[in-house]
Amino acid sequence: MGLFAPIKDHHSEAQLFVGRVILSSVIGIILLGIVVVRLVQLQVVDHELFAEQSQGNRIRIEAVPPTRGLIFDRRGRVLAENLPAYQLELIPEQVPDMADTLARLAGIGLIKEEDIPRFNGLSQSGPRFKPITLRFRLTDDEIANFAVRRPRFPGVDLQPRLVRHYPDGELVAHAIGYVGALSTADLQRLDAAAYSGTSHTGKTGVEHFNEDLLHGDVGFRQVVTNALGRQVPAETRGFADAGPESESPSPGENLYLTLDLNLQRIAAEQLDGRRGAIVAVDPNNGEVLALYSSPSFDPNAFATGMSPSDFNSLQQNPDRPLVNRAVRGSYPPGSTIKPMLSLAALEIGATNLTRRSVCIGYYSLPGSTHRYRDWRPEGHGEVDLHDAIQQSCDVYFYEISRDIGIDNMHYYLDQFGLGTETGLDMAGESDGLVPSREWKRGAFSERADQVWFPGETIIASIGQGYMLATPLQLANATAALAMRGQRFKPHLVAAIEDPLTGERTVMAPEQLPNVQITNEFNWDNVLAAMHDVMQSNRGTARATGLGAPYAMAGKSGTAQVFTVAQEDEYDEDEIDERLRDHALFIAFAPFDAPEIAVAVVIENGSSGSRVAAPMARAIMDQHLGLNDGVNADEL
């Protein structure tokens, strides 16, 4: 029997089966436990986290740009506003043939052919479901032109938008500036989050300098999207949105400027397209009443989108209409600095009220044969300081300049604000230049060029040589003369208004250090001579001032563009127009209680008293309500 083993062991097989069942059950229970734990974690512990992620996958936050603040003049007239307009937009994915569509739009005059490559590039650079703006503002005729052809242009449509508009265009272009499309440089400079959804920003003038006030605060809205990022219409969603749907943007602040639109209009009429600038300030507080540069340009072209060819045309214009001559133009001030130098000479004892000189039409330094010529070839005869200012005798100032010295000239002219930025609330202001020995040592690298020569002091005394000033600086210095040395920082913004509450914050004038002239009697004599420049029988600008119903003071100036050789004579009729002398004039009125100070600079205008002085008179007449009987509010 021991030689034969059982064929099947039922007991062992039963034990093995039971062991396997137990092992499988344990593994199953463990796996089920893991699943249950994970479900509890997902649906209970991390419910809020995944709910937010799910919400974020279907809801996109879109920025809502704020409405830009408005700009008004001192009388409340709108200088910059936002107008509803229709933009021409294209959605690339809905356009079957991009090249053909753009070509046909150009064919009916809605876009320019030169812009087609740029639009092609934009259509390929971003999401194809996002619209591209082809035109920022269409006229009524253009809207009608497209409307009748809309079925032929799938993917192209009109969209309502707010567009910046300047009602008086060229009158305020350089003062107000303009807005333009955001550039790469703008995006690097500005806060990207604050400018989400914004397409334009201030580029120049008040628009640029006060961008943080005018722009406002961006809002947002929730947009339900599908997996591709496209917006899902509300009627097809099938469920309610969670959380807040939007936050309204805060509009930008409104600005009330010190500018008077009437004076801007008179300035434009007086310049009549000639190259130059007119600046007027209130000497009592530094308010800029007029700031006009000519020739000007239409800022609306920048706000609505300008073609490269149009922009190049403006840039290449030899008259440089884009340059703000009022704050960036640097000109030799000519004889307009003579009242300031007279005060300096009296203060330091370089001259006095009884000193007399004989003007024979030229002056030579001792031991030199070089002649520094007077503007009047035959000379002025015997003159004192009053006569020298009144008749603008160059020889008198040539003589006293040696006793004043270039460093004293620099010291006193600097007190009047020449040679440095005025601090106007506008970017891009030029410094001008009042030379000194120290300046020349730093300006030139060669030792021989660093030496200050006596002849350079001579020509500096009549505002020539290295000396440069902007029309704004001259107006500001004239205001200091009118106020007997009291100075204010010029400013354009008079008040800031909250558009929601209407509450205004008035900008207080900022006083600057006074001109240090200790003897009040010196002011009396210099200002009296300036009065006689315009309102005496021998003044250089008597033709402009005589017979006026109010007392005024002024000083003419003529600045050479090129040097005339000793043996040559200056003949205005025989030289190119752009080589003729610049014409300058400064003035203030009324004489005893000044309300306005004016500076006029006319490039190649030849004569300050003949050309520039009547323009200054017209500005003062307008401000004082004497514009041929026309009410200022009616202009």
Instruction: Give 3-state DSSP helix, strand, coil % of the chain, rounded to 5.
Output: 40, 20, 40
Q: 61 pairs with which residues across the strands?
A: 222
Indicate if 606 belongs to the active site.
no
> In angstroms, rounded to a whole number, what is the distance separating the alpha carbons of residues 480 and 172?
26
List, in sequence order, every beta strand (DSSP E) within 343-499.
357-359, 362-363, 372-373, 381-383, 487-488, 493-497
Bond into 295 cis (ω within 30): yes
> In angstroms, rounded to a whole number, what is the distance separating the alpha carbons of residues 286 and 480?
10
Helix and strand totals (H; E) in the chain: 23, 23
Q: 254 pairs with which residues across the strands?
A: 497
Q: 451 to each of 370, 403, 438, 455, 457, how far by Cα in Å?
A: 19, 18, 10, 11, 12
- 3-state SS of 84-99 is EEEEEEECHHHCCCHH
Tokens describing residue 387: 């006569």
In the DSSP assignment, the letter for residue 323 is S
> In angstroms, rounded to a whole number, what is the distance separating the alpha carbons of residues 269 and 8?
124
Tokens describing residue 565: 């050789």
- 3-state SS of 8-47 is CCHHHHHHHHHHHHHHHHHHHHHHHHHHHHHHHHHHHHCH
Do residues 404 and 350 lie in contact, with contact meaning Cβ atoms separated by under 8 Å?
Answer: yes
- Single-letter amino acid, residue 219: G
Do residues 533 and 390 lie in contact, with contact meaning Cβ atoms separated by under 8 Å?
Answer: yes
C-alpha dihedral, 36 to 42 to 44 to 46, nearest 10°: 150
Q: How far apart are the first and last CA of the chain?
A: 138
Do residues 474 and 327 lie in contact, with contact meaning Cβ atoms separated by under 8 Å?
Answer: no
Catalytic residue among 294, 335, 342, 357: 335
In the DSSP assignment, the letter for residue 513 is P
In 68-225, which residue ranges form alpha helices assigned H by DSSP?
98-107, 116-125, 140-147, 173-176, 184-189, 205-209, 211-215
Helix/strand/coil for 163: strand
Among candidate residues 99, 90, 98, 67, the one with its CA nearest the CA of residue 80: 67
Burial of 181 (0-12, 13-18, 19+ CB in 10 A): middle
Letter string b/e over residues 146-157, b meaning 16 or more CB atoms within 10 A of that residue's CB: beeeeeebebbb
Rg over CA atoms, the chain:
37
Tokens describing residue 327: 């704050």
How many CB atoms sit inside 10 A of residue 168's CB? Answer: 18
> In angstroms, rounded to a whole number, what is the distance separating the alpha carbons of residues 180 and 565?
48
C-alpha dihedral, 162 to 166 to 317 to 612, nearest 10°: -170
What residues are labeled active site?
335
